[in-house]
């Protein structure tokens, strides 16, 4: 069904003949035909000034990443081990397993150097920029996790680096801004719009449009024009490659479920990639439901970041994907308590996999994520990133004590929980949850957000409300 789009049926075969088929020097397949599309999603919707760089990158991706030319992938894997500390553990979480009455395993990406999965991609792309002979890298960042990962990778590989970050995010994530600065990166505030990830991506694309000849854009998620969504997935797929192997080694079978949070979707695709062919493994993409799953058209605001769950097809930042937009196609401001999930779009491959029914999108709200943050901190001794807390919260809403019995009920729509997307997603008895990052960066936000709410199991915040 999703192999062809109506547009492709009508037009593209006909037009593609405009490229001289007799010219063997044209190595670029016409996108829309083969490369760069995931079903009806993906593509390369970027200003013409960027297209030569995109073509150059597509070629470099093919040679270095897919074909390991000059031993690129060997060097990448070596540096992930030696600099990054891979592999990360797959840990049996004893209290969670007891609480949810099934085996829960945590894929501990929070233990990767820098404290989040982001380094996998950043190291891959900065190294690729070096192989391509670029002399500078730029990146956008939301929570600051991708920015800090890129800054570390750039320092490690001796590359000048500039990171664009929304002004509001800079204020929410001051420790990460300082970390980037320590690594020698220039952090440039973006004041457009609401000053979050969406604006930072736009501004980084503008920089790239003017600097494309010597600069590589290290995009932070499985978004943007082809080849970024595929390439970032490939760099991140080490997460699921390890988890799959570790599951087979320790429990002698594949997990029944993999749960990961989804903003742009890099940790999601990283957690799912190696399991896509394993049809017995259910894949759950947990988005930020924010405070409400609807879109306020008049205000141009979606109080959530649930593009897969609540978004509509459209074109943003180089790709056709699912977006939070109003009826005219203007992109609305998203919201999440977690700035790393706060984005109005999602990776095109995830949009496709959701349409195909291969992954199950779900959403948990800000309150549920905060509760899960405290639960994991208190019961397992792991302070997770607020992003990762969404994945844990999904377990609670589907299989928690208050939802006794519902977890194993198949496909009961509206079975009592308020959690969007849970109906179809009963969990099996061996669940892998990706802890995509650690929560140190979020402590200030957590103090503020927890103090403003009545959160089950949260410690007394009164001593900390002035900050740490």
Partner 1 sequence: MVDDAASDDAGVDPEPAAGGVEPAEDDGPTTGNSEAIARAFADGPAYIPYLAVGDPDYESSLEYVEALERGGADLIELGLPFSEPIAEGPTIQGAVVRALEGGMTPDRFFEFVEELDVDVPLVCMTYYNLIYQWGEASGPRPFVERAAEAGLEGFVVPDLPAEEADPLRDACDEFGLDLVFIVAPTTEGDRLDRIMSRVSGYVYVQARLGTTGAQDDVSDRTAASLDRLREYDVPKAVGFGISAGEHAERIVAAGADGIIVGSALVDIVAEGAEADRSAETVADRLEALSRELVEGADRGYRARSPTADSR
Contact criterion met (CB below 8 Å) for 298 and 379: no
Nearer to partner 1, 319 or 432 (CB): 319
Contact criterion met (CB below 8 Å) for 254 and 385: no
Which residues have C-beta within 8 Å of that of residue 48, sequence separation ≥ 6?
none
Residue 6 makes contact with partner 1 by CB under 8 A: yes
SS3 state of residue 190: strand
Of 429, 454, 234, 253, nearest in space to 347 by CA: 234
Question: Please, which residues bridge with residue 38 across strands?
Answer: 41
Contact criterion met (CB below 8 Å) for 330 and 377: no
Residue 213 makes contact with partner 1 by CB under 8 A: yes
Question: Which of the ranges 210-218, 246-254, 274-282, 437-445 carries the binding residues for partner 1, by CB under 8 A?
Answer: 210-218
Q: Pick one of 48, 158, 249, 277: the residue that binds partner 1 (CB under 8 A).
A: 48
Is 118 considered catalytic here? yes
Residue 30 makes contact with partner 1 by CB under 8 A: yes
Smallest distance from partner 1 to CB 264, Å: 15
What is residue 416's DSSP assignment?
A: S
Residues 316-355 vs partner 1: string with x where CB under 8 A?
xxx----x-x-xxxxxx-----------------------
Nearer to partner 1, 316 or 426 (CB): 316
Is 134 considered catalytic here? no
Residue 315 makes contact with partner 1 by CB under 8 A: yes
Smallest distance from partner 1 to CB 216, Å: 15
Spatial distance between the Cα atoms of 116 and 85, rounded to a whole number of angstroms: 12
Angle at 212 between CA 137 and CA 187, to 5 degrees: 35
Number of residues that bind partner 1 (CB under 8 A): 54
Q: Which candidate in 237, 377, 436, 445 is catalytic?
A: 436
Smallest distance from partner 1 to CB 448, Å: 28
Q: Pick one of 12, 241, 367, 429: the residue that binds partner 1 (CB under 8 A).
A: 12
Spatial distance between the Cα atoms of 289 and 367, rounded to a whole number of angstroms: 10
Is 140 considered catalytic here? yes
Residue 300 makes contact with partner 1 by CB under 8 A: yes
Tokens coding 14: 């006909």
Q: How many CB atoms lie within 10 A of CB 251?
A: 14
Spatial distance between the Cα atoms of 443 and 431, rounded to a whole number of angstroms: 27
Residue 32 makes contact with partner 1 by CB under 8 A: yes
Residue 212 makes contact with partner 1 by CB under 8 A: yes
Nearer to partner 1, 46 or 359 (CB): 46
Smallest distance from partner 1 to CB 324, Å: 11
Can you say how many angstroms the Cα of residue 441 is from the centroid of all Cα atoms in its chain?
A: 17
SS3 state of residue 464: coil
Q: Which candidate in 109, 140, 199, 242 is catalytic?
A: 140
Strands across the sheet containing 318-323: 37-38, 41-45, 318-323, 312-316
SS3 state of residue 15: helix
Nearer to partner 1, 26 or 74 (CB): 26
Interface residues toward partner 1, by CB under 8 A: 6-7, 10-12, 14-15, 18-20, 23, 25-26, 28, 30-32, 43-49, 51-53, 55, 192-193, 198, 202, 205-206, 209-213, 300, 313-318, 323, 325, 327-332
Q: Which active-site residues does the annotation give?
A: 118, 140, 436
């Amino acid at each position: 069904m999703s192999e062809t789009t109506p547009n492709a049926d009508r037009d593209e075969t006909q037009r593609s003949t405009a490229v001289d088929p007799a010219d063997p020097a044209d190595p670029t397949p016409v996108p829309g035909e083969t490369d760069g599309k995931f079903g009806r999603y993906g593509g390369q919707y970027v200003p013409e000034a960027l297209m030569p760089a995109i073509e150059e990158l597509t070629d470099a991706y093919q040679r270095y990443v897919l074909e390991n030319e000059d031993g690129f992938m060997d060097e990448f894997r070596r540096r992930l081990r030696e600099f990054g500390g891979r592999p990360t553990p797959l840990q049996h979480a004893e209290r969670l397993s007891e609480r949810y009455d099934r085996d829960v395993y945590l894929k501990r990406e929070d233990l990767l150097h820098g404290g989040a999965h982001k380094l996998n991609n950043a190291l891959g792309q900065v190294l690729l920029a070096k192989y391509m002979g670029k002399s500078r890298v730029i990146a956008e960042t939301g929570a600051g996790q991708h920015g800090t990962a890129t800054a570390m990778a750039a320092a490690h590989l001796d590359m000048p680096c500039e990171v664009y970050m929304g002004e509001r995010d800079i204020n929410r994530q001051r420790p990460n801004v300082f970390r980037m600065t320590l690594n020698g990166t220039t952090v440039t505030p973006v004041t457009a719009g609401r000053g979050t990830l969406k604006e930072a991506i736009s501004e980084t694309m503008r920089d790239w449009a003017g600097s494309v000849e010597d600069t590589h854009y290290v995009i932070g998620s499985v978004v943007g024009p082809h080849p970024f969504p595929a390439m970032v997935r490939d760099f991140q797929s080490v997460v699921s490659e390890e988890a799959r192997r570790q599951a087979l080694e320790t429990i002698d079978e594949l997990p029944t479920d993999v749960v990961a949070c989804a903003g742009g979707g890099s940790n999601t695709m990283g957690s799912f990639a190696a399991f896509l062919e394993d049809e017995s493994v259910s894949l759950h993409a947990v988005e930020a439901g924010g405070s409400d799953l609807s879109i306020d058209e008049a205000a141009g605001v979606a109080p959530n970041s649930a593009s897969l769950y609540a978004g509509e097809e459209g074109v943003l930042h180089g790709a056709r994907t699912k977006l939070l937009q109003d009826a005219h196609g203007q992109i609305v401001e998203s919201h999440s308590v977690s700035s790393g999930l706060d984005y109005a779009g999602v990776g095109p491959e995830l949009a496709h996999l959701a349409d195909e029914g291969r992954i199950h999108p779900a959403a948990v709200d800000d309150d549920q994520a905060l509760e899960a943050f405290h639960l994991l901190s208190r019961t397992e001794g792991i302070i997770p990133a607020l992003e990762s807390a969404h994945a844990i919260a999904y377990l609670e809403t589907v299989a928690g004590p208050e939802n006794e019995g519902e977890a194993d009920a198949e496909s009961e729509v509206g079975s009592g929980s308020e959690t969007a997307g849970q109906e179809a997603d009963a969990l099996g008895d061996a669940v892998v949850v990706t802890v995509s990052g650690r929560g140190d960066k979020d402590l200030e936000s957590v103090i503020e957000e927890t103090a403003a709410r009545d959160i089950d199991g949260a410690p007394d915040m009164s001593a900390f409300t002035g900050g740490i």
